[in-house]
Amino acid sequence: MNCTRVIILTFVAAVLLGTAGAVFAAEENRGFDIAARSDRTDLGFGDSEVELQMVLRNAAGQESTRALRIATLEKADESVGDKSLVVFDTPRDIEGTALLSHARILDPDDQWLYLPALKRVKRISSSNKSGPFVGSEFAFEDFTALELNKFDYTYVGEVACGDLTCDVLERTPRYENSGYTKQVTWVDQAVYQIRKVEFYDRRGDLLKVLELNDYRDYNGFWRAHKLSMSNVQTNKQTDLIYGDYSFNNGLAENDFVKGRLSRLR
């Protein structure tokens, strides 16, 4: 009798513990699943090209503008990062300056900088994750780190965001040299796009807020056309205003090699 009771109680306890564990694991996986669902809406875009304006605004409201072009080549395998090429058209003194990145997941990205005045290609360190990208409020990691597996995710909850409902996730960088302890992201439940990100600095204080607006649908691939990054500590702001994207431009690996950097203009 005693023996049976012990067995039953043990069984009940095991079931309860197991259920609790499964529930807990589900909550933990839920963050990753939502991030993965968002990331996978982009699967199969192939390649894209876009022109954009970068508007930098200081605390006094003074503006300066940069024009740039970004080409991206998708690597379908989630364990390998995409390849991208950023070329500056203005200011004129840096016209033709280009940054080639071969993103990796946890290892540092491979990056080359092209300096047109000397026609020099220079391999640069990509450990400068948290440094400002060309004087803007975007850090290098904000530009290049948007690979699913670069972060761990925790599900936080559900809130209204504009007309939509968003899942809120906390993501922590898994790669080294990040300037952030965590990022809180809002992902909508309708088309699974990121609407807002809060960046917390190394001290754990809120540093920057990124808002992603003007999403447009390119045959199932969603792209935000206005990104506003506000630094809440310095009151500086950088807006990225995108033109129309073009997809399936026939870009290939050879368009993302360092030897091409001197041929872009």
Partner 1 sequence: MKRFLSVILVVAFVAALAGAPARGGEVDVSGSVELQARAFWHDPQWAGQDNRALQGSVASITEFRWRNEDGNQRVSLLPYVRWDAGDDERSLSDLREAYWAYEGDDFELLLGANTVFWGVTESVHLVDIINQTDFAGDIDGEDKLGQPMVSVSLQRDWGEISAFVMPYFRERTFAGVDGRFRPPVTVHTDNALYESSREEKHVDVALRYSHYIGDVDIGVSAFSGTSREPRFVPAADGQSLLPVYDQVDQLGVDLQYTREAWLWKLEAIARDGNSESFAAAVGGVEYTLYQVGDASADVGLLLEYQYDGRNEFEPVTINDNDVFVAARLALNDTQDTAVLAGFSYDTDTGETFVNIEAERRFGEDWFAELRLRAFSGAKQGDTTWWLQKDDYVQLSVSRYF
Question: Site residues (CB under 8 A) for partner 1?
Answer: 56, 58, 64-65, 67, 89-95, 108, 110, 118-125, 127-128, 130-132, 134-135, 177, 179, 252, 254, 257-260, 262-263, 265
CB of 16 to partner 1, least distance (A): 48
CB of 253 to partner 1, least distance (A): 8
CB contact at 8 A, 186 and 199 = no
CB of 116 to partner 1, least distance (A): 10
Both tokens of 144, joined, read: 């290049």
Beta-carbon neighbour count of residue 55 at 10 Å? 16
Looking at the Cβ atoms of 134 and 212, the one nearer to partner 1 is: 134
CB contact at 8 A, 169 and 31 = yes
Looking at the Cβ atoms of 27 and 63, the one nearer to partner 1 is: 63
**Distance (Å, whole) CA 218 – CA 48:** 11
Looking at the Cβ atoms of 35 and 145, the one nearer to partner 1 is: 145
CB of 259 to partner 1, least distance (A): 4
**Distance (Å, whole) CA 67 – CA 87:** 9
Beta-carbon neighbour count of residue 36 at 10 Å? 15
Looking at the Cβ atoms of 21 and 131, the one nearer to partner 1 is: 131
Looking at the Cβ atoms of 28 and 89, the one nearer to partner 1 is: 89
Both tokens of 5, joined, read: 């009771």
